């Protein structure tokens, strides 16, 4: 049982609270009260002069499946033996002891979504987990949390170079449609043998999980939205690099987007028009947005740095905070557990030496499930 007093609390809902006490009990936020009396049952932390935020969330990572500094032995994020692999699960490839998890915790990132890479048109299932632990099954908040798909250059490059479909963007879209139709037929058949790939795609068609689609260019984003309408499925747009060109159109489709990793270089044609102002344009149009590092494309320790650049390009500090806390939790469908400092939510939070969007500020303490991590 912990009570944290005298801090300024940025609760993730857009509020900045002073003269409040955060009470933590049994791994969750018990209550947040102003000028509250603290009994002897609580261990008191005096955080005077500090700012407390919810634990940060990165919605799009390859932590533990694309291990840093290891090489081929740690490359478990793209099953490139076939362009369509909905039967695989990122969960089966995650090494929870990979160094990226420690980097995440040190940076105040307490929740991540881990997904397959973008080499395949359909890449497999993903999971949301806490960044602390040694047994991945015990770290999971939600599994599966989505089905990975990818448009554009990546699947064309990986499979087209082998003389396999897809060679074109038309081929990418066709393969997505074919697998969705095959899953529809599977759902509607009276007698069927179990087929893991179709069972997993059925979860998308039944709206149990969204199709989370890697799409950088505006034309690829439009293809994703077209498929969403055709099959009446839930989708998220991952990366949305050229979303600023069609923000008003995206806003008509009831989708959430992740923006990033804008800190990366323009390493391919699809990134030539990346802008730090993209998230502002999307938010101004009413599109719910999160920020991502796409770790290890950009190190997860730079999630806050990415938010600072977005602030410099027009969004507010509270919008930036929500893009890596509450909006991120909603993007993942776990906002009942994490993303804001409210009673009965998991006690995941960060104590900062100052304003978290000042690069001079340091992460002083990180709590996950009410326990101090570092």
What pLDDT shows up at residue 147?
Answer: 98
- If one compares 190 and 345, the residue with the highest pLDDT of the two is 345
- What is the pLDDT averaged over residues 39-46? 95
- What is the pLDDT averaged over residues 110-125? 98
Please, which pLDDT band fits residue 319 given cuts at 50, 70 and 90? very high
* Confidence check: pLDDT of 35 > 90: no
What pLDDT shows up at residue 374?
Answer: 77
Do 153 and 268 touch, CB atoms closer than 8 A? Answer: yes
* Confidence check: pLDDT of 72 > 90: no
- The sign of the torsion formed by the CA atoms of 209, 263, 289, 274 equals negative
**Distance separating alpha carbons of residues 266 and 246, to the nearest angstrom:** 20
Average pLDDT along the chain: 97
Q: Give one word for 344, left, alpha or beta, with left for phi > 0 and alpha for psi -120 to 50.
A: left
The domain locations on the chain are: 1-55+340-373, 56-338
Report residue 320 as tokens: 């930036």
- What is the pLDDT averaged over residues 164-193? 95
What pLDDT shows up at residue 71?
Answer: 85
Please, which pLDDT band fits residue 36 given cuts at 50, 70 and 90? confident
Using one digit for the tens of pLDDT, what is the confidence trace for 323-343?
A: 999 999 999 999 999 999 999
1-55+340-373 CATH fold: Urease, subunit C; domain 1 (2.30.40)
What pLDDT shows up at residue 233?
Answer: 98
- The sign of the torsion formed by the CA atoms of 151, 188, 186, 125 equals positive
* Confidence check: pLDDT of 190 > 90: no
Please, which pLDDT band fits residue 109 given cuts at 50, 70 and 90? very high
**Distance separating alpha carbons of residues 350 and 325, to the nearest angstrom:** 11
- The sign of the torsion formed by the CA atoms of 291, 17, 350, 129 equals negative
Do 172 and 151 touch, CB atoms closer than 8 A? Answer: yes
Per CATH, 1-55+340-373 and 56-338 having the same topology is answered: no
- % residues pLDDT > 90 (the chain): 95
Question: Exposed e or buried b for every residue in 183-193, given b needs 16+ CB within 10 A?
Answer: beebeeeeeee
Do 54 and 326 touch, CB atoms closer than 8 A? Answer: yes
* Confidence check: pLDDT of 69 > 90: no
> Exposed (0-12), middle (13-18) or buried (19+): which is 139, by Cβ within 10 Å?
buried
| Pick from 32-36, 102-106, 189-193, 349-353: least confident | 189-193
Do 91 and 140 touch, CB atoms closer than 8 A? Answer: yes
Using one digit for the tens of pLDDT, what is the confidence trace for 225-284?
A: 999 999 999 999 999 999 999 999 999 999 999 999 999 999 999 999 999 999 999 999
The pTM is what?
A: 0.97
Question: Exposed e or buried b for every residue in 199-212, given b needs 16+ CB within 10 A?
Answer: ebbbbbbeeebbbb
> Exposed (0-12), middle (13-18) or buried (19+): which is 286, by Cβ within 10 Å?
exposed
Q: What is the DSSP string of 170-208?
A: HHHHHHHHHHHHHHHHHHH-SS----HHHHHHHHHHTTS
Residue 237, beta-bridge partner list: 213, 257
> Count of alpha carbons within 13 Å of 91, Cβ hemisphere only?
21
* Confidence check: pLDDT of 152 > 90: yes
Q: What is the DSSP letter of 75?
A: B
**Distance separating alpha carbons of residues 89 and 123, to the nearest angstrom:** 9
* Confidence check: pLDDT of 73 > 90: no
What pLDDT shows up at residue 74?
Answer: 86
Q: Which value, in Å, is the radius of gyration of the alpha carbons in the chain? A: 21
* Confidence check: pLDDT of 286 > 90: yes
56-338 CATH fold: TIM Barrel (3.20.20)
Please, which pLDDT band fits residue 70 given cuts at 50, 70 and 90? confident
Please, which pLDDT band fits residue 25 given cuts at 50, 70 and 90? very high
**Distance separating alpha carbons of residues 221 and 253, to the nearest angstrom:** 11
* Confidence check: pLDDT of 298 > 90: yes
Query: What is the edge-to-edge ordering of all strands in the sheet holding 371-372?
Result: 16-17, 8-10, 51-54, 349-352, 363-368, 371-372
Do 317 and 357 touch, CB atoms closer than 8 A? Answer: yes
What pLDDT shows up at residue 311?
Answer: 98
**Is the preceding peptide bond at 223 cis, omega within 30 degrees of 0?**
no
* Confidence check: pLDDT of 192 > 80: no
**Distance separating alpha carbons of residues 254 and 247, to the nearest angstrom:** 12
């Amino acid at each position: 049982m912990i009570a944290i007093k005298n801090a300024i609390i940025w609760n993730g809902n857009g509020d900045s609270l002073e003269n409040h006490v955060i009470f933590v009990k049994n791994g969750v936020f018990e209550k947040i009260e102003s000028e509250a009396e603290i009994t002897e049952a609580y261990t008191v932390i005096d955080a005077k002069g500090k700012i407390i935020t919810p634990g940060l969330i990165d919605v799009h990572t390859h932590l533990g499946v694309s291990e840093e500094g290891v090489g081929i032995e740690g490359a478990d994020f793209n099953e490139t033996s076939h362009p369509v692999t909905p039967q695989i699960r990122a969960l089966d490839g995650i090494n929870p002891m990979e160094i990226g998890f420690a980097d995440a915790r040190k940076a105040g990132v307490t929740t991540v979504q881990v997904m397959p890479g973008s080499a395949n048109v359909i890449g497999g299932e993903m999971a949301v987990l806490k960044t602390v632990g040694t047994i991945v099954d015990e770290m999971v908040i939600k599994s599966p949390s989505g089905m990975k798909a990818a448009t554009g250059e990546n699947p064309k490059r990986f499979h087209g170079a082998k003389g396999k479909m897809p060679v074109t963007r038309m081929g990418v879209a066709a393969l997505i449609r074919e697998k969705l139709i095959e899953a529809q037929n599977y759902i509607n058949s009276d007698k069927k043998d179990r087929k893991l790939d179709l069972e997993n795609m059925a979860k998308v068609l039944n709206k149990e999980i969204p199709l989370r689609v890697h799409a950088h260019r505006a034309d690829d984003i439009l293809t994703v939205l077209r498929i969403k309408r055709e099959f009446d499925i839930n989708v998220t747009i991952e990366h949305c690099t050229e979303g600023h060109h069609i923000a008003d159109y995206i806003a008509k489709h009831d989708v959430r987007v992740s923006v990033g990793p804008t800190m990366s270089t323009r390493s391919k044609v699809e990134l030539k028009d990346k802008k730090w102002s993209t998230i502002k344009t999307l938010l101004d149009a009413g599109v719910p947005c999160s920020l991502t590092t796409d770790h290890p494309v950009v190190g997860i320790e730079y999630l806050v740095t990415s938010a600072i650049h977005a602030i410099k390009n027009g969004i507010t500090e509270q919008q930036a905070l929500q893009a890596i806390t509450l909006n991120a939790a909603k993007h993942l469908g776990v906002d009942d557990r994490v993303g804001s400092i409210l009673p009965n939510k998991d006690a995941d939070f960060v104590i900062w030496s100052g304003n978290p969007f000042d690069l001079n500020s340091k992460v002083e303490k990180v709590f996950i499930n009410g326990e101090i991590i570092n």
